[in-house]
Structure 1
């Protein structure tokens, strides 16, 4: 298990010797570097993290020579096909190169860019079958599916019409299991209305078919379980806090509110893409430019979104997301937080996917995309803005929701699901919420909410 402690790294002059004459040692990648053999002691996670921090400081202070030197050291100790620590560091290395190249800090990055000849991340477009199999490989998403479905089943007991609003990163992969459970549980099959936010932005995992085609497949699957399903997709953007989606949803809900249907809002790892900063004024319809301000000055999009959900008076809201904080405007803080969270997927992948497999390439490409977005981008382009569980709980309470506990049956189902995976996965209960852990570290949380 990786232990992250603040072990101080030796001063940089002990790693990289000063450059006294730029014409010396021309046969080395850059003058003043130690040989690869002398780098072995810097291969543990703490030293790699500290080297990354040194590199960030060099890039941000516009020190092209020093940043290139540290990048070269990292390139030697973090091969892309190494162990989990090395692959994690390699992903951060690529992200730092992308940031430096974009900012123009390091104009002499040609050699490094050639070493990483294709810095573009090749994210795979999944077929439905591939994506379904992909999310089943690990509890990362299955944990949230299992907990949410159990809470939904309990909340909609006795309703003849169930309206599910699915805000999910994984393109409705949770829905077939929920439909199956409803078909098995209810004697009189309810009508299921499924409304999906079809985000216009490309965030992994990517799907190789349209939402209309996806909806047709889901409707046919429900029919095979003797359930009638109505499917609707609303083109949406998380950049504006799903404002148009909420408005259309409000109109749709007003039409059917008197019928007594259950309204379930299922939020699965999607809400952290809503900007957490306050935007100074709503943009005009032909403008994509936003002005960022402190979120303390007025209401943020996340706050507005949750208050809008509350105004719909839903039967249940389920919120599942990754338990980390990637919101800092300080790049070093953000890098440390990301490094101390995103080691987990690299560590877990060794337990279920062999090296060289296509699925492993897809899996790690998605993590690389996340790391690059966190490190190399700023402003509206930096969309990976995870917030920890404690902050989402406060947001939900401020929006006038109250948390409810997951039933013993739900917790038992989650435990049974975890038994199908590697021994490092665990479950813990924190007040009303449940948390997926890997070797004792928080990974994903699941929470259920009712209007207060």
Structure 2
């Protein structure tokens, strides 16, 4: 548990334990440091905070206090949160603890001396130590839940259908999981009735500092993938293009454009499929709120980098584009809006982890550390440092249509394959077929991840 200075609970916060919807957002703080406060409230009083809605309200009031530089009120609420949200508690408590950490980091960034003094004992516990996975660890890690496997399964099915008949397949893999999807795709390609195509795999080295992190260079990872493909009698070449999501993968697009021109100049365009596989990476591209740095071939300075990236991909005439991402909205410039959106989405991984990992296991620590990293980025960071800018499925669909793509449905065979994969996991996971032809992974009826497939109009 985070450690704070020994400050007793003030009367109004004691009452808040009974009435969690009392107004803590007054412009003038009535509490005075010299006023005698009663001691620690009874466990029964603190127990009233256990409801997720109460915890969310406390976090919201704390965020408002921090942003208005009300150090005293913020410290009081943080003190309460610290006592009701232990890092080893139930899923709601662990979720709240993650937001507590993030709010403390944000408070420290304000430069308030009072706040920094009040949290001097806590700062040592705030550093998040993201684990660097080996390839085997990461492969096992992403197999723990359908969170990634859903997108892998749906995307691979759409890709296999799209590349039928092609002798060469160029795959642009924009993935946050470091090509963990590719081995299963290679296995499926190897079993193609007409024989496997030759695979060209291009990866953008863009998420080396974003969890999950790999303890292997992309060059070494590529060697392993090539060897794995060879073991399946599939020819493959691998290359990594240094590129960054912060500029909309502009250098990647430029190099792909050159490669495509060479392919068509050599007359190989008709026999080569271009697949763009976007797995939980597009939301790292800055959206409208940051302004843009235009592509060298883009004359307009009013479009967002996300819009320009999709239009650039469209200009390459891809055979199929698959977009898989988390179905939430973290783009608001308002801290409270982001906090509410993140709190009402990120309870899901905390809830699901209780079904498949025992308390105290290393994998559970790694899993929840990655979630805490996401929370901290959404809450404590701003500007270019805030990279977790999720957009909901509906907005990505509109972006794809505006870039002159049209959605294609997943076949019944693909849907059955996804359902079969879900059978390997705990009850609670579900599948929805959206009206726009996409698929949505759900947990207890709540949208989690969406998968869509697109072709040029």
Report the CA distance between 1:279 and its aligned residue: 5.6
For residues 220-245 of structure 1, what are the alpha-carbon distances to aligned partners after superposition, in whole Å with 9 as ceiling and x for unaligned? 00000001101010001000000011
Rounded Cα–Cα distance in structure 1 between residues aligned with 2:163 and 2:294: 38
In structure 2, the partner of 1:443 is: 448
* 1:238–1:396 CA distance, 2 compared to 1 (3 A): same
* 1:170–1:21 CA distance, 2 compared to 1 (3 A): closer
User: Are 1:80 and 2:87 an aligned pair?
Assistant: yes
Among candidates 321, 326, 338, match of residue 322 of structure 1: 326
Among candidates 101, 119, 132, match of residue 125 of structure 1: 132
Secondary structure, counterpart of 1:185 in structure 2? coil
Report the CA distance between 1:12 and its aligned residue: 4.6
For residues 107-157 of structure 1, what are the alpha-carbon distances to aligned partners after superposition, in whole Å with 9 as ceiling and x for unaligned? 334453424632111100000000000000000000000000000000101
Map 1:164-183 onto structure 2 (within 5 A): 164-183=171-190
User: Are 1:215 and 2:222 an aligned pair?
Assistant: yes
Rounded Cα–Cα distance in structure 1 between residues aligned with 2:342 and 2:31: 36
For residues 4-47 of structure 1, what are the alpha-carbon distances to aligned partners after superposition, in whole Å with 9 as ceiling and x for unaligned? xxxx8331569xxx86552355xxxxx46752522110111000
Figure out how many residues of one structure are paired with residues of the other and give that number.
427
Among candidates 79, 88, 95, match of residue 102 of structure 2: 95
Rounded Cα–Cα distance in structure 2 between residues aligned with 1:399 and 1:369: 32
User: Are 1:35 and 2:30 an aligned pair?
Assistant: no
In structure 2, the partner of 1:398 is: 402
Map 1:402-413 onto structure 2 (within 5 A): 402-413=406-417
Report the CA distance between 1:185 and its aligned residue: 2.0
TM-score normalised by the chain length of structure 1: 0.91
TM-score normalised by the chain length of structure 2: 0.90
For residues 35-82 of structure 1, what are the alpha-carbon distances to aligned partners after superposition, in whole Å with 9 as ceiling and x for unaligned? 252211011100000000000111111111000000000001100000
Rounded Cα–Cα distance in structure 1 between residues aligned with 2:382 and 2:237: 39
Rounded Cα–Cα distance in structure 1 between residues aligned with 2:341 and 2:99: 12
Rounded Cα–Cα distance in structure 2 between residues aligned with 1:21 and 1:428: 54
In structure 2, the partner of 1:270 is: 281
Rounded Cα–Cα distance in structure 2 between residues aligned with 1:351 and 1:54: 31
CA contact (8 A) 1:101 1:107 kept: no
For residues 281-316 of structure 1, what are the alpha-carbon distances to aligned partners after superposition, in whole Å with 9 as ceiling and x for unaligned? 63999xxxxxxxxxx981000000000000000000
Secondary structure, counterpart of 1:35 in structure 2? coil
Map 1:41-52 onto structure 2 (within 5 A): 41-52=48-59
Rounded Cα–Cα distance in structure 1 between residues aligned with 2:48 and 2:398: 43
Report the CA distance between 1:254 and its aligned residue: 1.4
In structure 2, the partner of 1:293 is: none
CA contact (8 A) 2:243 2:252 kept: yes
Report the CA distance between 1:186 and its aligned residue: 3.4
Rounded Cα–Cα distance in structure 2 between residues aligned with 1:281 and 1:366: 28
CA contact (8 A) 2:65 2:74 kept: yes
CA contact (8 A) 2:187 2:232 kept: yes
User: Are 1:282 and 2:293 an aligned pair?
Assistant: yes
* 1:33–1:113 CA distance, 2 compared to 1 (3 A): farther
Rounded Cα–Cα distance in structure 1 between residues aligned with 2:24 and 2:66: 17
Rounded Cα–Cα distance in structure 2 between residues aligned with 1:281 and 1:84: 38
* 1:56–1:225 CA distance, 2 compared to 1 (3 A): same
CA contact (8 A) 2:63 2:103 kept: yes
Among candidates 355, 362, 373, match of residue 359 of structure 2: 355
CA contact (8 A) 1:276 1:302 kept: yes
For residues 164-216 of structure 1, what are the alpha-carbon distances to aligned partners after superposition, in whole Å with 9 as ceiling and x for unaligned? 11000000000000000010123322100000011165110000010000000
Report the CA distance between 1:391 and its aligned residue: 0.1
CA contact (8 A) 1:68 1:109 kept: no
User: Are 1:312 and 2:316 an aligned pair?
Assistant: yes
Secondary structure, counterpart of 2:351 in structure 1? helix
Rounded Cα–Cα distance in structure 1 between residues aligned with 2:39 and 2:73: 11
